[in-house]
Structure 1
Amino acid sequence: MIQTLTPAADWVVILPVVLCLVGGALLLMLRNSGGYLASFAILVVIAVLVCDAQLFARVLAEGPVSMTMGKWLPPFGISFTADLMSAGFALAAAVVTLVVLFYVQMDPEGRDGSTGLYSLILLLLGGVSGAFLTGDLFNLYVWFEVMLIASFGLMVIAGREIQLDATIKYGFLNFLATSFFLAALGLLYGLVGTLNMADIIISAPKANPAGMASVAALFLLAFGTKAAAFPVNAWLPASYHAPPAAISALFAGLLTKVGTYALLRTMVALLPASREILDPVIAAVAILTLLIAPLGAIAETNLRRALGFIVIGGIGVVVSGIALPTLQGIAGSTVYIFHAILTMSALYLVAGLIERTTGETDTRRMGGLYAANAPLSILFLVLVFAAAGTPPFLGFWPKLLLLGAGTEQSGMTTGGQIDWWAVAILAALLLNAFLTLIAGTRIWAHVFWRQGHEGERSEEPNANLRAPGRIETWLGLVPAGLLVAAIVAMGLWPDLLVHSGTEAARGLLDPQSYIAAVGLEPTP
């Protein structure tokens, strides 16, 4: 077969990654060159955002798009393949990164490019974009490693003792997860002879079922650890509170979401038969994650540690969709990941502003912020409602889809045999929303509604509060507010997002168009 040149329009699949890596390398070389580095990083991310938006629009109109590197045809060459789910997630990641780049300008340290901050942020976005857009599982492993390198650098960039401690906890479990991932890749290659995702879909049904079940179990463990699902979730609240708030926002919005994306892709599209064997395990993980995470948030007094438990609760929502693998269930998980990329990032950005205004990280030492900064209190409360899935905010729609999937699969409305796992997931989803609302409103009451510090002087005004400065307002409150406004707008007008999520789920459950886009023959 003679290979033709790749059409110029198809390069948009790889451009988000290329722009990030080249831009990060240039920023690293020029890190001592002056104060224009932030502007250059922002321009690079805007270019990535334009590419991602164009890619999403094209995939929405035409279906999946693929590009294979070099002269090796699929399945031997490394393919980058974008479908609705991966293009949508890459777009959301670029939006969050752009907001964070403006947010970090509040601090003199943030404006100082000599630390390599902007290079690491672009490297992180490049790794995230590569993970979302790759069509090859070994290449996915490579992008996980890129993300790990960037996240290690970002986590220790200020060099405080608490950051070093958090990095050790974060690094140990993530290296362990990466080892499980690599072991799964070796076993999978031995069973099917390929790591191209489209080719795995074709080859997996012919492989040894017991071996493939082992591969699926290793993927579940590896990606479950990276996503911080129960019981391998302790590293997240122990680490995400340590770096500056802007970095925590990037981590909460991007890193765990790549893990959940990988879970969706492997469990639903690549190995559906093996996933059926693991359905009880997946359901149990979903239920326990949904219930334990918000209880941890209720018990926690450190603001950003509490938000870490809320992030973990969202992972349970995504895993519940994998345990309810109908069109509605997978669509619910897909839309929820998009929502969580925006909402969890915004929560940490607002938390950073709260810490700056109060000078505290412990909610017991905060109080009276409602009178001092009413816009900040409104932003935080809206995000709590969105995270809990309260209508009409963005988080309501994916949970509604998941509740519909659970009701359908449970058999309660059809009079058939009751699926008790589906019933338990339904109950856990509802209880998770209730407990998350309790956890979030408890934080809001302590931080904003109470006058002062916890204890005998709780009703006296908090003397430690300070009014936000002009820089904090324009570079902190405004970017966070715009992100919250986008969350509210998509909650009020969810048609495009729900339609895209449903079509993305349809593509996962019936991946023939994905296989054809790569250039392989679809299965009958």
Structure 2
Amino acid sequence: MNVLVPLPFVLPLLGAALALAMRNHGRALRILGTVFHIGVVGSTAALLHAVARDGVVAVQVSGLPAPLGITLVADRLSALLLVVSSVVLLAIMLYAAGEGAGGLSAEEPGVFYPAYLTLTAGVCLVFLAGDLFNLFVAFEVMLASSYVLLTLTPTRERMQAGMTYTVVSLTSSILFLTAVGLAYAATGTVNLADLSGRTAELPPGTRSALGLLFLVVFGIKAAVVPMHLWLPDSYPAALTKITAVFAALLTKAAVYSLIRVQTLLFPRDDASMPMLALAAATMIVGTLGALAQDDLHRVLSFVLVAHIGYMLFGLALFTVAGLAGAILYLVHHIVVQATLFLVSDIMQIETGEKSLRRLGGLAGGSAFTAVLFLIPALSVSGIPPLSGFVAKLALFQAGIGAGGASGRAVTGVAALTGLLTLMAMTRVWTLAFWRPRPPGSGASPEVREVAPRHGLRPIRTVTAAMVGSGLMLVVLAGPLSEWSRDAAQSLADRTAYRNAVLHGGEAP
């Protein structure tokens, strides 16, 4: 068990080092990246099994006892997100390999694969970190690798987006480090399990100030309105397969961290009015932004912003049902949002366009692509019986069951957001697939902006597998809902987490 817990972080770091040594061998890089990601999937699956069998699993990496040492922790929430994230990371790695690293210059695959593996390590460390400082380190690992990935094949737009992304990320990192320092100054520890007891003893003003600071830190990283403006200006500029990773996981890592910190350090017995207001604003502003866009990738980026609001809504309720709904929505959105961006990449390859004004006729020219887009688009809109409907239903029941007028009001906003998302997806479908291609719109379907070396079949196969993964979430809705409820119960009752970290799983 001591080896199993850090393995999802150590494996991709080792792979990144090997990829740097083999950076001039493109075929070897594709094989190495795929093999190491398969290893990560296997290790996270084994860890999920261990958590299901033994409960919360904690390892003191430095050999020092908690709270002095470096603690890695896996519980039901982190183990589930590790498995889902590693599967999505593997799928996008296979997509990049199938595309032949399409869109990159001859030298850049030697940069892409090490940076991608490092990003994987950072994502896994976020879910495993048992103290605030190593959570900060995990985000910095993601920042460094994501900046490299964002600016691959540099253009003026891409470099400008990279600067925006880096400035915002560094600003939130400075605030994060400040929050860590203040938490240590106030309590004498940065270990999350230890903090869960000590923050309760702080004066109410100090506790509220720390809670607000962490909300701002992770709100920026998660693109919560009004701290969201950087995302639609940054993500669409990257190569689309990179945007798919960012949209699926970087914001979700921030949402996970917000859930972890708020439930461990600042638990409540009632709903948080500020969070509910932020959730409602995020949902409405995001979907209205999506309806106003012409660029397909900006449409999907604003949809991403809007649906962060659903997860924040579940957390803001501070009930087991609300937390379970937020966890279900995290799992659903990681898979579906990545799938939508991969399909949009195929659409761009087939037409050479990503402007909705210039797209058209895809349903007749590429029926398979139309199906690949339609299923995740309906799912993210919450159409039954797809996974988006299952997750939204759990949140609606939690909002209504919370008993307060504010919870019911935000539930109404969430229902309206689902309708607006459906309108945005219907608009994309009508313009890109259903109507004839506009005259003078440029390239025919044979003229491609980026031609995959191995043709479209490999990347279509990977994208179809991602669509199938989204459908599997429906098949597994019962077990997933039960697992999410158990994970939410563990978040609400912090005893098992604290015992595993501070007392080796034994009662104090």
Would you call these one fold, judging by a TM-score over 0.5?
yes
Read off the aligned partner of 1:83 and give its amino acid letter: D
Listed one character per residue, the Cα deviations across residues 248-304 of structure 1 (whole Å, up to 9, x for unaligned) are 10000110000100111111222114x96x911111100001111111111101000
Q: Secondary structure of 1:67's match?
A: strand
The Cα shift of 1:34 comes to 4.7
CA distance in 1, matches of 2:92, 2:396: 33
CA contact (8 A) 1:241 1:248 kept: yes
* Counterpart for residue 363 of structure 1: 356
1:509 and 2:504 equivalent? no
Residues 52-131 of structure 1 mapped to structure 2, 5 A cutoff: 52-110=44-102, 114-131=109-126
Contact 2:130–2:193 at 8 Å: present in 1 too? yes
- The 1:422/1:89 distance shift into structure 2, 3 A limit, reads same
Taking the aligned partners of 1:470 and 1:107, their CA distance within structure 2 comes to 6
Q: Does the 8 Å CA contact 1:322/1:333 hold for their aligned counterparts?
A: yes
Residue in 2 that maps onto 1:430: 415
Which sections of structure 1, spanning at least 5 residues, go unmatched? 1-8, 411-418
Asked if the contact 1:331/1:504 (under 8 Å) is kept, the reply is yes
What is the CA deviation profile of residues 460-480 of structure 1, one whole-angstrom value per residue up to 9, with x for unaligned ones?
x98622399893433211101
The correspondence for 1:331, drawn from 324, 328, 343, is 324
CA shift digits 1:439-493 (9 cap, x unpaired): 011101100001112xxx49xx986223998934332111011011111121133
The 2-side partners of 1:214 and 1:319 are apart by 19
Question: Does 2:277 align with 1:284?
Answer: yes
Whichever residue aligns with residue 26 of structure 1, its letter is L
Report what 1:162 is aligned to: 157
User: In the alignment, is the contact (CA less than 8 A) between 1:452 and 1:462 conserved in 2?
Assistant: no
Q: Contact between 2:187 and 2:198, CA under 8 Å: does it hold in 1? A: yes
Q: Alignment length, in residue pairs?
A: 501
Q: Is the 8 A contact 2:22 2:28 kept in 1?
A: no
Deviations 1:142-176 (A, max 9, x none): 00000000000000111121110111111111111
Counterpart selection for 1:484 from 451, 464, 467: 467
What's the secondary structure of 1:330's corresponding residue?
helix
* Partner residue, 1:375: 368
- The aligned amino acid for 1:501 is S
TM-fit CA distance, 1:399: 1.1
Q: How far, CA to CA, are the matches of 2:113 and 2:414 in structure 1?
A: 38
The Cα offsets for residues 197-251 of structure 1, whole Å up to 9 and x where unpaired, read as: 1111121111222111111101000100100010010111111111111101000
- TM-superposed deviation, 1:71: 2.4
Are residues 1:20 and 2:12 paired? yes
Displacement of 1:420: 2.4
Specify the SS of the correspondent of 1:237.
helix
**Cα distance in 1, alignment partners of residues 79 and 190 from structure 2:** 21
Q: Does the 8 Å contact 1:56/1:88 carry over to 2?
A: yes
Contact 1:394 1:490 in 2 (8 A): yes
Q: What is the aligned counterpart of 1:341 among 307, 323, 334? A: 334
Q: Distance in 2 between matches of 1:107 and 1:292?
A: 35
CA distance in 2, matches of 1:221, 1:398: 26
CA distance in 2: counterparts of 1:385 and 1:114, whole angstroms: 34
Aligned-partner Cα distance in 2 for 1:125–1:427: 37
Q: In structure 1, what is the Cα distance between the partners aligned to 2:487 and 2:164? A: 35
Unaligned runs of at least 5 residues, structure 2: none
* CA distance in 2 between partners of 1:56 and 1:230 (Å): 33
Displacement, 1:194?
A: 0.8
The two structures have a TM-score, normalised by structure 2, of: 0.95
Distance 2:332 2:49 in 1: 19
CA RMSD, 1 decimal: 2.0
Q: TM (normalized to structure 1)?
A: 0.92
Query: In 2, Cα distance between the equivalents of 1:433 and 1:225?
Result: 23
* CA–CA separation in structure 1 for the residues paired with 2:452 and 2:225: 41
